[in-house]
């Protein structure tokens, strides 16, 4: 801090901080290593299960809630695979996206899926190299990085789907 800096009272300082949107999703795979994607009814690109983190909700709680709401599956949230900062776009402000390891779904898990048809038209397990055919380029990059994190047993910091650091 320079000697010319103004120190704000705590309430003014907090009010001055940037507000970021936050979302949480789960990366589920099947025994063959294919990725579970869901087809939203309200936009063209497929997604991983998940959604916005609500006020006073933790990201893992949001991930669990979204998986129940979208798929009808009550599953524990695994470790963080990636934290992805995405820049602002005309339709939405910058945000942080957390992707958790949903693990490998068994045949019984898949049979228990009950889609929320208000939000989702369908789901499919997609080979990793084909994810970009259904998902946005950003999500395809994020999923590829998450699969690397699964294989390496690590978590990755991403910017717009690209590993940093």
Residue 1 covered by a domain: no
Range of the domain at 151: 21-163
Cβ-contact 81, 59 below 8 angstroms: no
Task: Determine the pLDDT at residue 108.
Answer: 96
Averaged pLDDT, 137-155: 97
Q: Exposed, middle or buried, 131 (CB in 10 Å: 0-12/13-18/19+)?
A: buried
Task: Determine the pLDDT at residue 90.
Answer: 86
Residue 2 covered by a domain: no
What is the rounded distance in angstroms from the CA atom of residue 56 to the CA atom of residue 38?
Answer: 26
DSSP H or E segment with residue 151: helix 137-152
How does pLDDT run across 31-70, given as a tens digit for each residue? 999 999 999 999 999 999 999 999 999 999 999 999 999 9
Averaged pLDDT, 71-78: 95
In eight-state DSSP terms, residue 148 is H
Query: Is 2's pLDDT higher than 60?
Result: no
Residue 11 covered by a domain: no
Averaged pLDDT, 136-160: 97
What is the rounded distance in angstroms from the CA atom of residue 163 to the CA atom of residue 31?
Answer: 26
Q: pLDDT category, 105, cuts 50, 70, 90?
A: very high
Pairing of the two strands 21-29 and 95-104: parallel
Report the number of distinct structural domains present in the chain: 1
What is the rounded distance in angstroms from the CA atom of residue 6 to the CA atom of residue 130?
Answer: 53
Residue 144 covered by a domain: yes
Average pLDDT, rounded, for the chain: 94
Task: Determine the pLDDT at residue 152.
Answer: 97
The two tokens of residue 132 are: 């970009």
Residue 128 covered by a domain: yes
Query: Is 14's pLDDT higher than 70?
Result: yes
Averaged pLDDT, 86-99: 92
Global pTM exceeds 0.75: yes
What is the rounded distance in angstroms from the CA atom of residue 102 to the CA atom of residue 8?
Answer: 42
Question: For residue 115, what is the domain's CATH number?
Answer: 3.90.79.10
Query: Is 3's pLDDT higher than 60?
Result: no
């Amino acid at each position: 801090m320079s000697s010319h800096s103004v120190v704000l009272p705590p309430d003014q300082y907090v009010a001055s901080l940037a507000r970021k949107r936050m979302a949480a999703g789960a990366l589920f795979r099947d025994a063959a290593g294919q990725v579970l994607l869901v087809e939203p009814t309200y936009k063209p690109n497929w997604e991983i299960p998940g959604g916005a983190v609500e006020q006073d909700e933790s990201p893992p709680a949001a991930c669990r809630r979204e998986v129940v709401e979208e798929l009808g599956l009550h599953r524990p949230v695994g470790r963080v695979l990636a934290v992805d900062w995405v820049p602002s776009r005309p339709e939405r402000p910058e945000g942080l996206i957390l992707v958790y390891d949903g693990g490998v779904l068994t045949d019984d898990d898949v049979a228990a899926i009950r889609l929320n048809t208000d939000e989702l038209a369908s789901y499919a397990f997609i080979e990793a190299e084909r994810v970009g055919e259904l998902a946005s380029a950003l999500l395809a990059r994020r999923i590829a990085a998450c699969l690397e994190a699964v294989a390496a047993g690590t978590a990755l910091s991403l910017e717009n789907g690209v590993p940093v650091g």
